[in-house]
């Protein structure tokens, strides 16, 4: 009885260790990507939600394990509760887990067809580029690769959630492309709070390379994206006003409040802002149906108006 209790406790402990690899990304990745997949597919059945979450989480896990075995010394400073610096797993064992997850992700994706397997393979290749080939060392490649992988998660999650696993709707495709654009231009919001640890590991993030410009950039990008997204998805005036106002608040916080604790809180607000816009495809489907998709006609209208003026 005692041996069985010990083995059961060991299993739960190991599962919790695996969970810890992804805990910090639940708010910024797992939840918003799941919301996006449900909204953009749209979700074909309630049971498919579990499959969608599992696919997203598995691919998020393989990325995080690959990332965390690379610079455990950084996590000792920025995120000591992660499993490697906390002593719950060795770098050697985590490396075995990292490469074991590759065939697991591909095999699970293959159950849904060639298209999803291709997305999974793309995610795995970009993960290797980011981690094993130092794609995270420069601000431009770090932001671009992270945004592309985020798009892979959204594309894959949408394919799993949809009734048709072979294609993404035009609305879902536009939403995915927008996410890549928004994330690549604003994700350095997450780097301010980790600047001290990043300096020690030689990572050259945007806030480290350009401390003043990076805050101005995020302070402007979030409000401007807020306006653009509300116009593209044609939100009602109340929803649009609330979203733009919140975006202005978040952007202003990054420019005015600059301590580590302030940056951590601002990052949480940014995560909420980023998650909210993932619901806009569902708003579009509700207002316009599945047969229409957003267009950039309003941009042409504004530009034409500016030229005439």
37-51, 84-98, 206-220: segment of lowest average pLDDT: 37-51
| pLDDT single digits (tens) 152-200 | 999 999 999 988 888 888 888 999 999 999 999 998 998 898 887 777 7
Q: Are 269 and 219 within 8 A, CB to CB?
A: no
Q: Binning pLDDT at 50, 70 and 90, where does residue 309 land?
A: very low
Residue pointed to by tokens 């207002």:
287
pLDDT band at 6 (very low <50, low <70, confident <90, very high): low
Q: Is the pLDDT of residue 47 over 60?
A: yes
Q: Would you say residue 27 has pLDDT above 60?
A: yes
Q: Is the pLDDT of residue 229 over 70?
A: yes
pLDDT at 300: 64
List Cβ neighbours of 102 (8 Å cut-off, separation of 6 or more). 62, 124
Residues 47 and 97: their CA atoms lie apart, in Å, by: 28
* pTM score: 0.85
Of the CA atoms within 13 Å of residue 41, those in its CB half-sphere come to: 26
Instruction: Give, for 40, the enclosing helix (H) or strand (E).
Output: helix 31-40
Distance CA 278, CA 271 (A): 11
- pLDDT, position 291: 78
In contact, 173 and 240? CB cutoff 8 Å? no
């Amino acid at each position: 009885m005692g041996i069985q209790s010990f083995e059961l406790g060991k299993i739960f402990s190991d599962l919790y260790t695996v969970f810890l690899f992804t805990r910090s990304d639940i708010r910024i990745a797992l939840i918003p990507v799941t919301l996006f997949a449900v909204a953009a597919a749209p979700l074909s059945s309630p049971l498919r939600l579990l499959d969608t979450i599992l696919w997203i989480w598995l691919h998020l896990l393989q990325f995080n394990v690959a990332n965390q075995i690379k610079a455990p010394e950084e996590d000792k400073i920025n995120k000591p509760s992660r499993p490697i610096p906390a002593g719950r797993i060795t770098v050697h064992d985590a490396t075995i887990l990292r490469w074991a997850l590759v065939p697991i992700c591909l095999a699970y994706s293959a159950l849904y067809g060639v298209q999803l397997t291709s997305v999974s393979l793309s995610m795995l290749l970009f993960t290797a580029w980011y981690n094993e080939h130092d794609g995270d060392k420069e601000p431009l490649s770090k932001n671009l690769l992270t945004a592309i992988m985020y798009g892979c998660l959204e594309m894959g999650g949408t394919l799993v959630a949809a009734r048709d696993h072979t294609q993404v709707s035009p609305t879902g495709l536009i939403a995915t492309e927008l996410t890549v654009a928004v994330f690549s231009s604003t994700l350095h919001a997450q780097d301010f709070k980790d600047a001290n640890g990043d300096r020690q590991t030689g990572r050259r993030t945007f806030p480290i390379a350009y401390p003043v410009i990076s805050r101005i950039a995020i302070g402007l990008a979030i409000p401007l994206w807020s306006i653009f997204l509300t116009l593209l998805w044609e939100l009602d005036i109340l929803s649009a006003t609330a979203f733009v106002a919140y975006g202005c608040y978040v952007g202003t916080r990054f420019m005015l409040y600059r301590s580590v604790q302030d940056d951590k809180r601002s990052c949480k607000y940014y995560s909420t802002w980023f998650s909210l816009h993932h619901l806009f495809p569902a708003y579009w489907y509700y207002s316009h149906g599945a047969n229409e998709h957003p267009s950039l006609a309003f941009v042409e209208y504004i530009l034409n108006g500016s030229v005439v003026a």
